Structure 1
Amino acid sequence: MQIQQSHVPQGSASLTRKPKMSPEESQQLKNWLTDIAVDRDRQAFAQIFKWFAPKIIRFGIKQLGSEAAANELLQDTMSNVWRKSHLFDFDKGAATTWIYTIMRNVSFDMLRKIRSQREDYLSDDMWPIVEAQNVQEVEFADHLMQSHIAQYIELLPQAQQQVIRGVYFQELSQEQLAEQLNIPLGTVKSRLRLALNKLKEQLGEL
């Protein structure tokens, strides 16, 4: 049995309203979630993905401002549905409510990441003295040593030192650094953010 998508309001209808579904259709969604949770049923997952994809995409474009971000929202939401299907409580609400709650939580996380990335870009103004000098890849010039920046960097964990030196001294992009270190781009961003926060604390009085 396949759910007919014509029952779902189209256009700009808010996802806060429950789609108009028959009891049979609502039960089918619950059955698919059960099949995923118990049997890891890929066909059931495909049906749920097909049902929710256009609605999540519309929501993502509206909230995140781009189709690329909306597609990321869809992938992350449905990945969570696949992994957490065993947590769905049939007695506490509809399957649609549960999945839309996951979607909203993912969208909040994405918005927080966007704000954090903007803060990372703005953090470049910490380094006017570094950018004013032609600092080479690994060796630090005497004036940097005297300014105490190098000694603060050396207090960081080795992994965070790598990304600071790669981004600010070797002038590598975060993507290039991730490839060079053979780690995910998200790991580079996370280490860079942690390192900058620690350095800001140390340099705050200078």
Structure 2
Amino acid sequence: MTPTEHLSDALVKVASHRDRAAFAVLFEYFAPKIKRFGIKQFNNEASAMELVQDTMTSVWRKAHLYHPSKGAATTWVYTVMRNASFDALRKIRSNREDTLSEDIWPMVQVEDEEVVFTDHLESQLLQEHLDKLPLAQQEVVKGVYFQDLSQEQLAKQLGVPVGTVKSRLRLALSKLRNHMGAEHD
């Protein structure tokens, strides 16, 4: 039996009998290759190991979708790996976009320490919901979005870590979004 046939046979055994020994054969063969690809792709060993885990978990769960007549086991597993890699890259990109949110949120002018709401922010609804937030979350929302302070400046002003400002802001925005509904995003 050729190595290609051996891998194909192992994948079929995983699909049909949930054969752990056959899965071990697949893991032993593919894990180092997937890890090398992940390190090259993500430049990070932890992310590479996560790719190995995601790929091999999918191989175990989706083995029944493999058909030897349609292609080699290596091609099928590498397709699963590629899809897991794309998912990981989308997740990374999405997380980066979340951290950029404070940079792209429009700032509003403040006059004499009174918050000036403009456009849809003038609504009484926003002020009512803002007043329902805990004081610490109110301070962060007003500081970041209405006083034109960076999260770092606000953290220094409040005497708390930047991570605390970020957490309070994330919680406050989530609560406002839930209370006001999507039409006010």
TM range (shorter): 0.5 to 0.7
**RMSD of aligned Cα (Å):** 4.0
Which has the larger Rg? 2
How many residue pairs end up in the alignment? 143
Instruction: Indicate how the Cα distance of structure 1 residues 67 and 143 shifts in structure 2: closer, same or farther if over 3 A, else same.
Output: same
TM-score of the pair, normalised by structure 1: 0.56
**Aligned residue number for residue 36 of structure 1:** 14
**Aligned residue number for residue 44 of structure 2:** 66
Give the gaps of 5 or more residues in structure 1: 1-22, 133-141, 156-160, 178-191
1:200 shift after superposition: 9.4
Q: Distance in 2 between matches of 1:91 and 1:114?
A: 36
Residue identity opposite 2:101 in structure 1: S
Summarize deviations over 1:116-145 as a string: whole Å, max 9, x none.
11110010232767xx9xxxxxxxxx9488
**Aligned residue number for residue 72 of structure 2:** 94
Q: Distance in 2 between matches of 1:154 and 1:90?
A: 62
- In the alignment, is residue 55 of structure 1 matched against residue 47 of structure 2? no
Instruction: Indicate how the Cα distance of structure 1 residues 56 and 144 shifts in structure 2: closer, same or farther if over 3 A, else same.
Output: farther
Same amino acid, percent of matched pairs: 48
Residue identity opposite 1:90 in structure 2: P
**Aligned residue number for residue 85 of structure 1:** 63
* Larger RCO of the pair (alpha carbons < 8 Å, separation 6+): 2
Residue identity opposite 1:124 in structure 2: E
Instruction: Indicate how the Cα distance of structure 1 residues 173 and 44 shifts in structure 2: closer, same or farther if over 3 A, else same.
Output: farther
Do the aligned partners of 1:60 and 1:70 also contact (CA within 8 Å) in 2?
yes
TM-score of the pair, normalised by structure 2: 0.61
Q: Distance in 2 between matches of 1:43 and 1:57?
A: 21
1:24 shift after superposition: 2.2
Give the gaps of 5 or more residues in structure 2: 142-163
Summarize deviations over 1:149-202 as a string: whole Å, max 9, x none.
8946999xxxxx9xxx7xx7674649xx8xxxxxxxxxxxxxx7xx6xx99974
**Which runs of structure 1 show a deviation greater than 2 angstroms over 4 or more consecutive aligned residues?**
125-129, 142-155, 168-174, 198-203
Q: Distance in 2 between matches of 1:32 and 1:153?
A: 62
